[in-house]
Structure 1
Amino acid sequence: MPANPRNGRPYRELCARQRAFGLPCWICGHDIPYEITGPAAGTHRWAFTLDHLVPLSKGGDLLDPANARSAHRRCNSARGNRQSAKVEGTSRRW
């Protein structure tokens, strides 16, 4: 079974470089609480995640810094593999 490239040093270094920029979420534009780290970051919806401008499933390069973007975990998950950064809101009317 091949190793997961997201567990490798080059990917971790790319994440660290992107995190160091301290940029807001490229999808929603709000600040990312970069102080959320460790195990809590793996499930916290507003934690930093590395998103890819061109999704990996659409041919984007995992390790290309030009394809890397800072995003909230929630925004990244909601975007899925769409190439647009626009995240649709809820379809329910409250």
Structure 2
Amino acid sequence: MAGNPRNGRPYRALCAWLRAQRLPCWICGHDIGYELDARHPQSFTLDHLVPLSRGGNLLDRENARPAHRRCNSSRGNRTDPPRQPVRSSRRW
């Protein structure tokens, strides 16, 4: 019986490779708290450009992106990142 593929050595190696690059969140563009506890909303998670539920490859480096836990959760399985609301500088 095979276990969860996200607990395997290849997936952990992919996470370590992406974490070592210390890139900002690909969804919102802000810095990621790489030292934060994994349960923190601003902590690092590996997001897939093409969601796994839509045929994305779990272990493909081209499909892996760094994201905040909150951003990754809010994106869900959509193929494009959610649009951030544009704020004006004044109340109109």
Asked whether the two chains share a fold, i.e. TM above 0.5, the reply is yes
Q: Summarize deviations over 1:49-91 as a string: whole Å, max 9, x none.
A: 00000000000000000000000000000000000112466xx
Say if 1:23 and 1:31, in contact at 8 Å, map to a contact too: yes
Equivalent pairs counted in the alignment come to: 85
Unmatched 5+ stretches in structure 2: 86-92
Question: In structure 2, do the counterparts of structure 1 residues 48 and 31 end up closer, same or farther at CA, with 3 Å as the change threshold?
Answer: same
Aligned structure 1 segments of 4 or more residues deviating by more than 3 angstroms: none
Q: Summarize deviations over 1:5-59 as a string: whole Å, max 9, x none.
A: 00000000000000011000000000001112xxx31x10000000000000000
| Matched residue, 2:24 | 24
- Indicate the structure (1 or 2) with the bigger Cα radius of gyration: 2
Say if 1:18 and 1:70, in contact at 8 Å, map to a contact too: yes
TM-score (norm 1): 0.85
Identity level (%): 68
Please report the RMSD computed on the Cα atoms of aligned residues, expressed in angstroms. 1.3
Unmatched 5+ stretches in structure 1: 90-94
Greater helix proportion: 1
